């Protein structure tokens, strides 16, 4: 099976033009996505003007560039400045060449053989070759639980082999249909093997990749300055870009304050913010000098609550379902994002392959039904304060929060209020991040706030809900629900290992249906990436893997100011 014959893994990428807001939704054929944007958002159409410094902002900076060990969401686009991958996705969503020129897959789906480019180097002068890839894979595997995302993607890898200088082979323990899609993710970007062997601790603040920029200055968590690499000549062919990046310098500043971030755009101190301040969107959208873009990331939507299904009261699915349908998502999302985000009641974003919209209303807002479910679960008595009781026990649970999770505190308070209306007491306990991680690892929690996970494959559901991932638990992802449901486990494993597109389509439909019955988490809204930039910035693309901004072909026209 060659790269071009992998169309069975394809999905339709995004019909929403940059700056517009009405995505196309339709029931897709097997293996396709229901939400699409136009092909032109992903390819360079005209050559740009070299030079210039792009000043950008975000609410935070990731604090490290060691993509094999960290998981901040901003690394999806930060990593693209300095690292390259073996594989990219073309505009049809097919795995296509990047640092790997081509590949073959054995008939049993357990051996992948990659033919690599022979003209690539890391920014320290080290040659890119099969040994470099092998060194990266072996490092990730050795990190184990120290690598929450990258190592999870390589879990089925048994052995990485350099067959010759530019031929790399991977042996898997079983067929693994999403493998190429994961290889395209930022988390599996490739680091200089010399740096890995000689000074791995330096990766976090002096990373050495083969990408279009190098890190010139860095203050972790606050500021990063990226310098164009003049000899870069191996961008993915799917971008239609050749040669180095156009921008000479990219400056990223962490500006947590939304008022300041908005003002810096409006007065021209910055040309781009990777995180548009939601409270100022109407003002920013009204400015003729600015362009607004709101895009949905593929994979898992934002999850508001993640239950520990092994603890009372969440060991009863009726209680979990009651809570899910008692939360007024439409109102919460309206308040937190001024209608920018889309409320969500199912378990995949619509731009994920094999998304099935038939379950989009399964957990829709229905307080009377929630009340009836709690009655049927035996929580029919009421205390003096209106909280439900059973055998003298209050219907109450502790929500652990640091106040800094991806679920904003305002939405948590709204959820708490909604649940109190049906007689459920949600107690908020603020803890430090280390303490939160400690309690998650020990299983000592009732309910957590959730997160999102970007992936161009429905196999993201395996990472989030298969019981094998309980050992990899963390506060943003792997099976914090502790489900261990045998039927769900069987479906997820069969789907992951199936090489038949139609079979996978049937399996993923059943998985999505079953999740709406099991309710391990409460979906809240689609995972959106909202940016605003000045009109003098041209050539801004969106990369096909995460649907986040890509600066390889971006350029500045200061004459337009």
B/e letters for 504-530, b = 16+ CB within 10 Å, e = fewer, are bbebbbebbbbbbebbbbbbbbbbbbb
d(CA 183, CA 204): 21
Q: Where are the alpha helices (DSSP H) in 338-421?
A: 367-376, 409-421
d(CA 348, CA 453): 10
Between the alpha carbon of residue 50 and those of residues 244, 248, 310, the distances in Å are 9, 7, 58
Phi and psi at residue 27, to the nearest 5°: -75, 115
CATH fold label, 3-296+528-560 = D-Maltodextrin-Binding Protein; domain 2 (3.40.190)
For residues 341 and 357, the answer to whether their CB atoms sit within 8 Å is: no
Quick one: pLDDT at residue 203? 98
Residue among 230, 181, 210 nearest 9 (CA): 181
Q: How far is CA 225 from the centre of its chain?
A: 24
- Cis-peptide into 376, omega within 30 deg: no
Domain boundaries in the chain? 3-296+528-560, 299-525
Write the Ramachandran bin of 427: left for phi over 0, alpha for psi from -120 to 50, otherwise beta.
beta
Quick one: pLDDT at residue 195? 98
Over the chain (561 residues), the average pLDDT of each successive run of 10 is: 33 30 48 81 95 96 94 92 97 95 98 98 98 98 90 96 98 98 97 98 98 97 97 97 97 96 96 93 94 94 90 97 97 86 94 94 97 98 96 95 70 94 96 84 87 92 90 56 90 97 97 97 93 97 95 85 46
Selected from 1.10.760.10, 3.10.105.10, 3.40.30.10, 3.40.50.280, the CATH number assigned to the domain covering 299-525 reads 3.10.105.10
- The sign of the dihedral angle between the CA atoms of 358, 360, 362, 365 is negative
Beta bridge partners of 307: 447
- Is this structure's pTM higher than 0.85? yes
Q: Where are the alpha helices (DSSP H) in 218-278?
A: 258-266
């Amino acid at each position: 099976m060659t790269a071009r014959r992998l169309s069975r893994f394809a999905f339709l990428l995004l019909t929403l033009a940059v700056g517009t807001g009405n995505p196309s939704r339709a029931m897709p054929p097997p293996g396709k996505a229901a939400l699409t944007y136009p092909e032109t958002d992903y390819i360079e159409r005209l050559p740009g003007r070299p030079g210039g410094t792009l000043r950008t902002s975000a609410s935070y900076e990731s604090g490290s560039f060691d993509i094999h060990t960290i998981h901040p969401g901003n690394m999806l686009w930060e990593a693209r400045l300095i690292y390259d991958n073996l594989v990219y996705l073309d505009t049809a969503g097919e795995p296509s060449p990047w640092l790997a020129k081509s590949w073959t897959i054995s008939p049993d789906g357990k051996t992948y053989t990659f033919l690599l480019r022979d003209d690539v180097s890391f920014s320290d002068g080290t040659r890119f070759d099969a040994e470099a890839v092998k060194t990266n894979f072996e490092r990730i595997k050795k990190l184990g639980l120290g690598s929450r995302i990258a190592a999870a993607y390589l879990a089925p890898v048994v052995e990485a082999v350099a067959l010759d200088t530019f031929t790399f082979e991977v042996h898997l323990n079983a067929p693994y249909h999403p493998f190429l899609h994961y290889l395209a993710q930022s988390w599996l970007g490739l680091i200089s093997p010399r740096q890995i062997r000689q000074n791995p601790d330096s990766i976090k603040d002096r990373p050495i990749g083969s990408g279009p920029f190098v890190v010139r200055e860095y203050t972790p968590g606050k500021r990063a300055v990226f310098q164009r690499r003049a000899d870069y000549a191996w961008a993915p062919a799917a971008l239609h870009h050749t040669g180095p990046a156009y921008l000479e310098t990219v400056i990223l500043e962490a500006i947590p304050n939304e008022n300041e971030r908005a003002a810096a755009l409006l007065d021209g101190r910055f040309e781009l913010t990777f995180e548009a301040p939601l409270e100022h969107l109407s003002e920013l959208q009204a400015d003729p000098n600015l362009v607004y873009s709101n895009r949905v990331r593929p994979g898992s939507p934002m999850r508001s609550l993640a239950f520990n299904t092994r603890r009372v009261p969440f060991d009863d699915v009726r209680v979990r379902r009651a809570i899910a349908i008692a939360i007024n998502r439409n109102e919460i999302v309206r308040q937190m994002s001024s209608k920018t985000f889309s409320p969500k009641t199912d378990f995949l974003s619509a731009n994920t392959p094999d998304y099935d919209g038939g379950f989009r209303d399964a957990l829709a807002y229905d307080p009377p039904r929630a009340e009836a479910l709690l009655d049927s679960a035996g929580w029919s008595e009421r205390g003096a304060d209106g909280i439900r009781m059973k055998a003298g026990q209050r219907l109450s649970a502790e929500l652990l929060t640091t106040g800094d999770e991806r679920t904003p505190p305002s939405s948590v308070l709204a959820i708490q209020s909604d649940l109190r209306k049906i007689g459920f007491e949600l107690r908020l306990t603020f803890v430090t991040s280390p303490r939160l991680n400690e309690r998650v690892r020990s299983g000592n929690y009732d309910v957590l706030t959730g997160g999102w996970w970007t992936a161009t494959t429905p196999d993201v559901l395996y990472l989030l809900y298969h019981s094998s991932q309980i050992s990899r638990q963390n506060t943003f992802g792997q099976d914090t629900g502790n489900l261990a449901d045998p039927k769900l486990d069987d479906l997820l494993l069969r789907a992951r290992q199936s090489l038949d597109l139609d079979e996978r389509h049937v399996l993923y439909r059943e998985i999505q249906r079953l999740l709406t019955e099991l309710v391990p988490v409460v979906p809240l809204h689609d995972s959106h990436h909202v940016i605003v930039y000045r009109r003098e910035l041209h050539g801004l693309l969106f990369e096909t893997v995460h649907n986040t901004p890509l600066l390889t072909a971006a350029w500045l026209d200061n004459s337009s100011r």
